[in-house]
Amino acid sequence: MSEASLSPTGSVPDRRARKNVAVLMVAQAVLGAQMPMLFILGGLAGQSLASNACLATLPISLIVLGSMLSATPMSAIMQRFGRRTGFMLGTLGGAAGAAVATLGLLQSSFPLFLLGSLLTGIYMSSQGFFRFAAADTASETFRPRAISFVMAAGLVSAVIGPQLVKVTSEMMVVPFMGTYITVIVINVIGSALFLLLDIPRPVAEDQELDAGRTRLDLIRTPRIAVAIIVAMVSYALMNLMMTSTPLAVVGCGFSQANASDVVMAHVLAMYAPSFFTGHLINRFGVEKIMGTGLAILAAAGLVGLSGVELENFYLALVLLGIGWNFGFIGATTMLANAHGPAERGRVQGMNDMIVFGGVTVASLASGGLMNCAGASALEGWTAVNIAMIPLLALAGAALIWLVLHPRAA
């Protein structure tokens, strides 16, 4: 099925959009299962391989760094060659990263394991574009729901991923190696899904006639700037807290199975609201939903500070997932409505580079705060939750400014 060019004045019926959304939902469910698997075990595997406990979450940080470094070239590849090509390259990166990480575990080599994690970021970057691909062929009315439906498919991956960790993490003599081999298989099988995509792209001639705004012009557009800030903060805070959760749960005396269940509850909470987030955006406005997301993220931090019982971890991580959903889907919708087709590659690549740059810093900070900010897991977990405050203040201030200055926006 060819990826036909889209006329700048033409329209694509939502029938095509719905088909593409269905394909992307399956991809999100199947391929997306690898992300909770890697985030559950990345810190634990890093802790077993690293000579310094402060570097335990460095593998997760490098996954996010790889995603940040891949975002701009991945977006450019999709703009020139189509979404299908970019998504298949993503699965190739995911399979290669898992293979190298497997070799690192087999040889007890932390540097090799880190290299595999960095390559895995190529897949994470491509998965980040699923939400934009859902919007490509959708009408303005269907767009928020298209994005939400694709994100909602993460519910399946939220269940599959942690359960696969339980089944595969100890299935081989080398701990965790079975899980990484399973990730290779997931990427190989899942790559075939993208043969079914039918997403048009602007042809070169159209881009020459209407190249759109420069990156500087785009980032100076208030709605684009605020969308990027809120997306970055929502994702960074989610990653900051989630990355340290397995270490905190195990460090506070609970089991690895408990940690997997807490993360599964979190990932379910990330995607379950997606069934109605798009409807809420259409009804109440994107700004209100983004603001609600930031408020729920703040509530997650407060619950995290209130205690370290297993119930606290569950509630904090569920709130974290819901807050991320509202903030991130809201920001994605705002961004998707603020640029034209010729600007797609530029603005989406820039967005994900900035977002995952912030997430990389948060992931690095997570390990340092968790393992080195105090003498116990309790003190480290407290530091993680306190660290959320300045980022929430930044995103909240940006969103409030946008609401109070509609004319400038």
| 127 has pLDDT over 90 | yes
| Number of domain units in the chain | 1
pLDDT digits (tens, 9 = 90+) for 10-61: 444 588 889 999 999 999 999 999 998 998 888 788 888 888 877 877 898 8
Contacts of 112 (CB under 8 A, 6+ apart): 100, 101, 103, 104
Q: Is 3 inside any structural domain?
A: no
| 124 has pLDDT over 80 | yes
Better-predicted residue by pLDDT, 31 or 175: 31
Q: Is 386 inside any structural domain?
A: yes
Element (H, E) at 406: none
- Which of 97, 43, 93 has the alpha carbon at shortest distance from 73? 93
The predicted pLDDT at position 211 comes to: 61
| 5 has pLDDT over 70 | no
| Full residue range of the structural domain in which residue 47 is found | 14-197+213-404
Rounded to 10 degrees, the C-alpha dihedral 277/278/283/286 comes to 80
| 66 has pLDDT over 50 | yes
The predicted pLDDT at position 13 comes to: 59
| 84 has pLDDT over 90 | yes
Residues of the chain above pLDDT 90, percent? 50
Q: Is 1 inside any structural domain?
A: no
The rounded mean pLDDT for the chain is 87
pLDDT-derived band at 210 (thresholds 50, 70, 90) equals low
The average pLDDT across 154-171 equals 87
- Lowest average pLDDT, out of 168-177, 219-228, 310-319, 380-389, goes to 168-177
pLDDT digits (tens, 9 = 90+) for 278-292: 889 989 999 999 999
- Lowest average pLDDT, out of 141-150, 201-210, 262-271, goes to 201-210
The structure tokens listed for 369 are 């705060």
Residue-wise DSSP of 183-247: HHHHHHHHGGGGGG----B--HHHHHH-----HHHHHTSHHHHHHHHHHHHHHHHHHHHHHHHHH
Q: Is 358 inside any structural domain?
A: yes
The Cα-based distances of 85 to 125, 192, 199, 288 in angstroms read 13, 11, 11, 36
Q: Is 2 inside any structural domain?
A: no
d(CA 198, CA 202): 13
d(CA 265, CA 76): 35
The predicted pLDDT at position 203 comes to: 57
Q: What angle do CA 322, 323, 329 make, to 5 degrees?
A: 90
pLDDT-derived band at 7 (thresholds 50, 70, 90) equals very low
Residue in the structure block whose two tokens are 């190739």: 92
The predicted pLDDT at position 79 comes to: 84
Better-predicted residue by pLDDT, 345 or 208: 345
| CATH number of residue 91's parent domain | 1.20.1250.20
- Lowest average pLDDT, out of 175-179, 310-314, 356-360, goes to 356-360
| 132 has pLDDT over 90 | no
Q: Is 335 inside any structural domain?
A: yes
d(CA 185, CA 348): 29
The average pLDDT across 304-329 equals 95
pLDDT-derived band at 6 (thresholds 50, 70, 90) equals very low
Q: Is 99 inside any structural domain?
A: yes
Q: Is 112 inside any structural domain?
A: yes
Side chain identity at residue 181, one-letter code: I
